[in-house]
């Protein structure tokens, strides 16, 4: 896979507190960055307007809202997001929620992603929350539910990507956060892997934030990750 093709699969997380900081990252990366994630932190600080600006400029946007609510609220939310022109939107991988979201997005190009288990959570965290399944078991259950609902893909740790890929086949996106290049700090992530390991495990898209946004030379950081991804996708 070429570096240009890998750019379509690298999602740069704009996990910064202000639109000005996010815009500075985008400007700094220029054509090196193509696909950006906007989550709660930035969305609540004006990031939804930035999402529209990015799509208008030819960039792709992954809106990480993790929707979960009553059916009508989820449906109206998905419909509104689809009109912004963003490429991806997350909802929690509850069967009913996903079914409603899929119907609301029908006829649009919006790719819906089911969030399985947050990468900041491990088996102990799930036990504390009242779940009897391990993280891996719950991810696989929710991957099956996402496939049955007709979702465009799922979000999971790269540690579970291989098993998920076996369940969903090759048509669905498998988006993996918690990616850390060799030598990078883990931060608050508990289930992390390198870009090459994620691709080898079956991930189609990688979400990388702090190793890029916090780098002294952001372009070089992106190119290094793209190079590793390109090599892994070609193997």
Q: What is the structure's pLDDT at 181?
A: 79
Catalytic residue among 69, 122, 125, 133: 69
Catalytic residue among 28, 59, 66, 125: 66
Q: What is the structure's pLDDT at 187?
A: 52
Q: What is the structure's pLDDT at 102?
A: 98
Q: What is the structure's pLDDT at 104?
A: 98
pLDDT in tens, 10-41: 999 999 999 999 999 999 999 999 999 999 99
- Which residue intervals of 30-160 are DSSP H helices? 40-42, 48-56, 71-82, 95-105, 123-128, 135-149
The answer to which of 8-17, 115-124, 177-186, 216-225 has the lowest mean pLDDT is 177-186
Ligand-binding annotation for 189, yes or no, is: yes
| Distance from C-alpha of 43 to C-alpha of 40, rounded to nearest angstrom | 5
Are 202 and 162 contacting, i.e. CB atoms less than 8 angstroms apart? Answer: yes
pLDDT in tens, 36-55: 999 999 999 999 999 999 99
- Predicted model pTM: 0.91
Confidence of residue 143 (pLDDT cuts 50, 70, 90): very high
Confidence of residue 184 (pLDDT cuts 50, 70, 90): low
Tell me the CA distances in angstroms from 183 to 142, 190, 194, 211, one per residue in order: 32, 15, 10, 10
| Distance from C-alpha of 228 to C-alpha of 194, rounded to nearest angstrom | 9
**Token pair for residue 166?**
């076996």
Does the annotation mark 122 as catalytic?
no
Q: What is the structure's pLDDT at 232?
A: 85
Tell me the CA distances in angstroms from 128 to 25, 84, 94, 136, one per residue in order: 37, 37, 19, 16
Does the annotation mark 64 as catalytic?
yes
Ligand-binding annotation for 212, yes or no, is: no
Does the annotation mark 31 as catalytic?
no
Ligand-binding annotation for 190, yes or no, is: no
Catalytic residue among 27, 28, 31, 64: 64
Give domain 3-230's CATH superfamily.
Aldolase class I (3.20.20.70)
Confidence of residue 182 (pLDDT cuts 50, 70, 90): low
């Amino acid at each position: 896979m070429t570096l240009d093709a890998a750019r379509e699969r690298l999602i740069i997380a704009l996990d910064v507190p202000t639109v000005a900081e996010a815009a500075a990252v985008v400007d700094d990366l220029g054509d090196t960055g193509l696909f950006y994630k906007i989550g709660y932190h930035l969305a609540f600080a004006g990031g939804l307007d930035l999402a529209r600006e990015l799509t208008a400029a030819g960039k792709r946007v992954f809106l990480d809202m993790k929707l979960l609510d009553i059916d009508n609220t989820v449906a109206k939310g998905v419909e509104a997001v689809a009109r912004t022109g963003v490429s991806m939107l997350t909802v929690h991988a509850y069967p009913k929620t996903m079914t409603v979201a899929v119907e609301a997005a029908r006829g649009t190009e919006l790719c819906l992603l089911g969030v399985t288990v947050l990468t900041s959570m491990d088996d102990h965290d799930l036990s504390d929350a009242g779940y009897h399944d391990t993280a891996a078991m719950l991810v696989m259950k929710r991957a099956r539910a996402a496939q049955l609902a007709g979702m465009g893909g799922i979000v999971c740790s790269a540690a579970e990507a291989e098993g998920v890929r076996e369940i969903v086949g090759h048509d669905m996106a498998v988006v993996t956060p918690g990616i850390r290049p060799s030598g990078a700090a883990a931060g608050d992530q508990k289930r992390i892997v390198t870009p090459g390991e994620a691709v080898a495990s079956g991930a189609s898209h990688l979400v990388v934030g702090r190793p890029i946004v916090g780098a002294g030379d952001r372009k070089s950081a992106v190119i290094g990750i793209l190079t590793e991804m390109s090599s892994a996708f070609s193997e």
